Structure 1
Amino acid sequence: MSDLAARLRTLPAFPEEMPDLDLEALPEDPTELFLAWLEDAIASGARQPHAMTFQTLLADGSPVGRTLILKDLDEAGFHVSTRNTSRKAQQVREDPRAAMTFFWRESGRQVQIAGTVVALGEDVSQRDWLARPTSDGQPNPEWQVYALRPERFEFLQARADRNHVRAGYVREGGRWSHGPVTTPAG
């Protein structure tokens, strides 16, 4: 074991007390659980509880991620924004499959959301642009709001013994199905 590996093993991992994830009490709609966890993160005083890793695909199929913030959540999906000339905008034009990973270390919670990205209308994009703290009050034709339309969710509640509890949701025929997510031993 290297010195780095030994040092990394000594770093604190999870808080002493963490909430539970009751697999018997999952809501039918995963956005309900997501919003409850997001509200818990906001109430905890966590810094940037709306930050997530947004993953897109390069032309060769390799994943690439960057940290973005969730701008909104509605019937269109999970909103993010960027210039329509950015690399991530180009990537979602070439392959609209993407994923988001939220991590709230204060509660040991993580949510992965995967689906397809769509560009939202000019009105939504300009409202977002004009609400930015750096906006000069002028429209920005390069600004674009996108929505990730979820097809899969995985909720993870960490446990100190590392036997984390996972719940997965999959959209099938317009309806959500859910259950525990198990990982193979090894």
Structure 2
Amino acid sequence: MEDIGTTDVRQYLRGLAVFAGELPDFDPDAAPERPEVLFLDWLTGAVEAGVREPHAMTLSTVGADGTPSARVLLLKNVDRRGWQFAAGAASPKGRDLAVNPVAALSFHWPEQARQVRVTGPVAPESPEDSAADFLARSPGSRAEALVGHQSRPLPDVRELERATELALERVEREPGLVVPEWTLYTVRAERVEFWQADKQRRHIRLCYERRGEEWTRGRLWP
């Protein structure tokens, strides 16, 4: 790709395969009444199909200055209350949610040509639930959270190595230690869209919208 021109890049990208392989069936008329039920069906289908890290999702937030930010992290749970993830309250995403408690989640399972988009307000769970989530993490993950300083400049990588060693030692000494700022968040979805690709570009889009505690659903133009 060295010294490749803009036109060549465009042609290169247009030549990449999309929607390769056999795609799963999706009948939106037979979809369940609630979006989390369909989501779990698609998620387990992705697991059974061998999709790598199917619980990985893009979390998008908006900062105090209106600048959007996106990053990939792991889904922790989904039920009638909503979709859950965890983060440090002092992290960039935590700070965004403190001033703009809304978020968008995007799931992409390319092997099945499926996407799910979730949007809605975000609320922190109780300190007890957040602590339980923290203690369920691996020792290395807990040490990482204990080190902190996420997204701040790192002038010397040796500082990170030393801080991580000290944090691991502390986690081993204090197995019940919980970082106070660690927070389990729930996205209370107001809108959930399911997208199933079609090789002929007759893509299927099914949108759920919340009406109080009930949901309406309908198809969208592709």
TM tier, smaller: over 0.9
Contact 1:54 1:99 in 2 (8 A): yes
3-state SS of 2:111 partner: coil
What's 2:214 paired with? 175
What's 1:49 paired with? 54
**Identical-residue share of aligned pairs (%):** 40
What's 2:160 paired with? none
Taking only aligned residues, the RMSD between alpha carbons, in angstroms, comes to: 1.3
What's 1:117 paired with? 122
What's 2:41 paired with? 36
What's 1:155 paired with? 194
Picking from 108, 111, 118, the partner of 1:103 is 108
3-state SS of 1:106 partner: helix
1: CA distance, partners of 2:79 / 2:37: 12
3-state SS of 1:12 partner: coil
Structural mapping, 1:5-84, within 5 Å: 5-84=10-89
What is the identity, as a one-letter code, of the residue corresponding to 2:105? M
3-state SS of 2:221 partner: coil
User: Counting helix residues as a fraction of each chain, which structure ranks higher?
Assistant: 2
Deviation at 1:80, TM superposition (A): 0.6
What is the identity, as a one-letter code, of the residue corresponding to 1:12? A
TM-score by length of 1: 0.93
Structure 2 unaligned segments of length 5 or more: list them: 1-5, 143-170
Structure 1 unaligned segments of length 5 or more: list them: none
1: CA distance, partners of 2:113 / 2:185: 28
2: CA distance, partners of 1:6 / 1:102: 27
2: CA distance, partners of 1:145 / 1:76: 13
1: CA distance, partners of 2:123 / 2:207: 23
What's 1:85 paired with? 90
2: CA distance, partners of 1:165 / 1:155: 8
Contact 1:117 1:149 in 2 (8 A): yes
3-state SS of 2:112 partner: coil
Aligned residues: 183
3-state SS of 2:25 partner: coil
User: Counting strand residues as a fraction of each chain, which structure ranks higher?
Assistant: 1
1: CA distance, partners of 2:89 / 2:127: 11
